[in-house]
Structure 1
Amino acid sequence: MARTLINAPSAARRGEVIEIRATIGHPMETGFRAGEDGKVLPRNIIQTFSCRYNGELVFSAELFSAVSANPYIAFHTVATESGTLVLSWEGDNGFSQAESIQLAVTA
């Protein structure tokens, strides 16, 4: 499991625009770089990122080999109701990880 850092508010007012920031610890190896032995290191990147708010997709991104190690993603959404934000990453070699956070929405 990769190390993740998610920064999002735990509470917001209904209709408020909130920012969610996420970093995941991942080497993002391009598949073009040679290792110490001179052989090309196999590609190992995160290919997709998505965020679902109470099951509804609110943000998604496709990542490519030009993205640096430990990718940082920031996006905004509108707080509509209390619930769960599920952030998911999928990549090469069967890599997949999901983290969830709770959001309390007040009137």
Structure 2
Amino acid sequence: MQDRRRARMQSGLGLIGTMLMTAGIAAILFAWWGVAHTGYVWEQIPYVVSGGMLGVGLIGVGGFLYFGSWLVKLLEEQRQTTYALLQLLDDRAAERDAERV
């Protein structure tokens, strides 16, 4: 049950992070398009503030979530490696005990 939950969390964080970064890039492109098609500074500022700043924020949050999904994946791999090592050590200890008898 825990393995499925971790896998869902990892894939969910990665998907949401990717979607937020994509939305951030789209917001920045929208802001660029708006600024590029007007010659007045007072018309450009709202595009920079709303599109540019929002885009940078979305990219930051999305990157943080994607990084979190990567950390969850690393944690799961580490747990599997540790479990396999513990099983190997238990098997080795059982072999030593069998040889002593």
| Bucket of the pairwise TM-score, normalised by the shorter protein | under 0.3
Give the TM-score normalised by structure 1. 0.26
Between Structure 1 and Structure 2, whose CA radius of gyration is higher? 2
Structure with a larger share of its residues in strand:
1
Considering Cα pairs closer than 8 Å and 6+ residues apart, tell me whether 1 or 2 has the greater RCO.
2
